Amino acid sequence: MNTRSIWRPDKDEVIVENGAVATAHPIAAQVGVDILKSGGNAVDAAIATGFCLNVVEPSSSCIAGHGQMIVHMAAERRNVAIEYGHRAPKAATADMFKITGQAVTGNGIYQVEDNANAVGHRAVGVPGVTAGMCRAHELFGTLPLEQLLEPAVHYAREGFDADSTTTLGIANNMPNFSRYGEAANIFLNNGFPPPPGTKIFQRDLADTLERIGREGKDALHRGEIAAAIDEEMKQNDGILTAQDLADYEPLVLAPAETSYRGHRILSCPVPAGTVTTLQILNILENFDLPNLTHASPEHLHLYIEAARHAFADRYSYVGDPDFGPVPTSGILSKNYARLLADAIDPMTAKLEDEREIQPWVAYADSPLHDPWPHDSQPSPEHTLPASPPSDGDCTTHFSIIDRDRNMVACTQTAVGGFGSSVIVPGTGVLLTNCMVVFNPMPGTANSIQGYKRGLNNMSPVLVLKNDEPFLTVGAPGGRRIICRIAHIISNIIDFGMSMQNAITAPSVDAAERETFIDHRIDPETIETLTSIGHNTKTVPEPATGGAFSRPRGILINPQTNNLHAGVHPFGPDQAQGY
């Protein structure tokens, strides 16, 4: 057997008594902690952190982006999901894009002429981040909104130093910036990406953020800025309107929920990624994982098979339940999970067959399972085949716990890198490319329809232990978020890992045809998995994500009540606390 050198990076776990923030950028982490120290609660810190990330991590989130926030308020024992995700403009139609190619290998979404569903004005959807953050503030905020936006305003107006991650993101989007000039004016330095250490200024955005601090949601969704967005769309063949902006409201919902070995797992309802994360855990609960060796062939085989069963249902049934029936309670049924667990052979990979060449197509045409008998709704006579969202990797996540043990898990996205690449002149507002999350082919559960929510991969999760707050976790990383979050929760509950160790531990991903195996896993284990039928591909975990998602989380040590915060070991991710 050949041997090779293996890089094994890590970061120190942050252990504190009072409050902690785990996020994508040191500036945003410090902003969140400062809010906690000044008397704000976890939601206050989340609002300040989220708006700050819109400034200092511009490729991954923006004030006209999309997101989900799960909140646990400890004193009230109240759990809330705030859903402010992707919506198509009301004028959107199933056939609005011209399909020019077959399904793209790796995501199952058809190629569109001029990439128009991913870049430019027709790719723009109805924004949600500002509305969602303002709704969270109305429900749970304690400090003035204007105070919470002050840090974001400061870094937009006075600038922040680009790091290598920012420079790389800008470099990757140079062709789009050149095509849509306002973004080039802001993010390019004499026509080139800014070298690390160069200050990036977003002064128009600073003015818009100040207005949001004074006026709330209406600063973006009504008035002069909404009119400027509307005019930008009219002049450039876009379909988002000022009326779409005025009509938008985030949803305040009961979280989607399951249990895992006595823990309550809370997240956002469909059409998010978490229904699949929770289903993976439901299936795994039927196996005695704590008595297996972590990352052994036996352990990883069960995990991969559980994930493949869950993704088969995702590719067959999941879409926006407002536009067609989705068997959510059936998919999350414990009895149904037991049936799927019984179908797993402990010695053979059964799901690695010819259908894995295009799993989303195959499972849509001929579903592997039927959750409808376990659902609270009657089985429909006919349902449309589902399809996954395009697999973008330009998302952010932050987790926060305060001194009162209120918890927040929040995932937000610009969808693709710098969204649509369209910035509305005079406003600094970057518009996302949310239309890319839909299937541009008519006739599927995730096809385009006016005001429909596109299927997304976000999976922010809160966990309660004995009905007390225990942990918050989530990640950016496209479709690969889903497996990773289930893996981290299992690492903590089944194997007793700390938060940082659970995040750093080598992972696997079974969302697509090939099962990605972290190159740090024992080569003999990988050989065994291959020999029993898994279609494996050994990959590194690069700083930019790619093969795996980039988790961030915080847990409460039940013995000490201290907070233990961890982040992805690569890149600028940082946890801070006090």
Phi, psi of 276 (to 5 degrees): -80, -40
The dihedral through the CA atoms of 40, 42, 45, 46 has a sign that is negative
Calculate helix-pair angle for 42-56, 203-215, nearest 10 degrees. 160
Calculate helix-pair angle for 334-342, 274-284, nearest 10 degrees. 60
The strand pairing partners of 461, in sequence order, are: 267, 473
CA 237 – CA 403 distance, rounded (Å): 49
CA 466 to chain centre: 27
Q: What is the DSSP letter of 39?
A: T
The dihedral formed by the CA atoms of 36, 72, 554 and 133, expressed in degrees to the nearest 10: -60
- 160 is written with which tokens? 């922040």
324: CB partners within 8 A, 6+ apart: 383, 384, 445
Helix (H) or strand (E) holding 501: helix 499-504
576: CB partners within 8 A, 6+ apart: 14, 20, 21, 26, 29, 30, 32, 33, 565
CA 318 – CA 308 distance, rounded (Å): 15
Phi, psi of 508 (to 5 degrees): -135, 160
- 426 is written with which tokens? 């005079």
The answer to whether the CB of 516 falls within 8 A of the CB of 448 is no
CA 477 – CA 484 distance, rounded (Å): 9
CA 124 to each of CA 119, 160, 238, 508: distance values in angstroms, whole numbers, following the listed order: 8, 27, 7, 33
The dihedral formed by the CA atoms of 357, 360, 362 and 368, expressed in degrees to the nearest 10: 120
SS (H, E, C) 181-228: HHHHHHHCECCECCCCCCEECCHHHHHHHHHHHHHCCHHHHCHHHHHH
Q: Which of 258, 395, 413, 432 is catalytic?
A: 395
The dihedral formed by the CA atoms of 94, 97, 102 and 106, expressed in degrees to the nearest 10: -80
State yes or no: is 560 an active-site residue.
no
Nearest to 111 by CA among 445, 440, 479: 440
CB-neighbour burial class of residue 456 (10 A; exposed 0-12, middle 13-18, buried 19+): buried
Query: Helices marked H in 41-196 — which ranges?
Result: 42-56, 129-140, 145-158, 164-172, 174-179, 181-187
CA 64 – CA 173 distance, rounded (Å): 18
Question: CA angle 50-53-58, nearest 5°?
Answer: 135
The strand pairing partners of 72, in sequence order, are: 79, 407
By annotation, the residues acting in catalysis are 395
